[in-house]
Amino acid sequence: HRQDTIYMLEHESEYSKLVLVHEFIHIAQLDNDYSYLKEASAEIIAHEYWDRPIISYQNAVKRIYALMSIIGPETIWNANFTSTDLLKEELGKYLTPEEVTQFMDCLKVKPYNQKFDEETGIGETDKEIDNLIKKLYERKYNKQMDNDYTINSIYNMTSEGNIHYFVTDEEISTPIYFFNKNKIYGPTKPVQLKKIVK
């Protein structure tokens, strides 16, 4: 990743400016095999802290956001920068040991290195993670995940990192933040809500 970052600094372009932050985040991440988690998280961190659009790994980003909504962002943050132990522990509260191993194995897959359904654009690993997230959610909350508004909004998130919802029949678009809660609650800048004009 350091090599990629140096190359992009030397061969600057509009695309490389967007990717540079993503690559810089990789330098700080743990040196482990959890490519799916690391790639999605680098996109999320670049989006939440540097306002970068989510230009890569959108399927993985949605699934990591969905996972964070169930087990919390601190667990995912730790899995990126300190240890995956807390992640395994949180998953183990609701999944069998075999399912935890399966989940962690899925997080090792490179998001671009999976077979994709031509119709939906969803990869085999994405589907496997969806199935495990559904089990995790339903065992934790003892209700169907399909009816959860937050999860549905995450899965329908735009590449700009916005989720959509309705308030008194008006569709509202707002950025999503899990790691950088100050972006929502901080005194410096209020979250900009956009009314969608159809």
pLDDT of residue 135: 98
5-19, 117-131, 148-162, range with greatest mean pLDDT? 117-131
Q: Let me know: does 193 contact 173? Beta carbons within 8 Å.
A: yes
Residue 165 predicted with pLDDT over 80: no
Q: Taking the CB of residue 66, how many other CB atoms lie within 10 A of it?
A: 24
Res. 34 pLDDT band, cuts 50 70 90: very high
Lowest mean per-residue pLDDT among 36-40, 47-51, 168-172: 168-172
Which distant-in-sequence residues (6+ apart) come within 8 Å of 136 by Cβ? 67, 70, 71, 91, 94, 95
> What percentage of the chain carries pLDDT values higher than 90?
55
Nearest to residue 71, comparing CAs of 133, 29, 131? 133
Would you state the pLDDT for residue 193? 45
Q: In the chain, pLDDT over 70 holds for what percent of residues?
A: 82
Q: Which tokens go with 125?
A: 């690993």
Is 173:194 a contact under the CB 8 Å cutoff? yes
pLDDT band at 110 (very low <50, low <70, confident <90, very high): very high
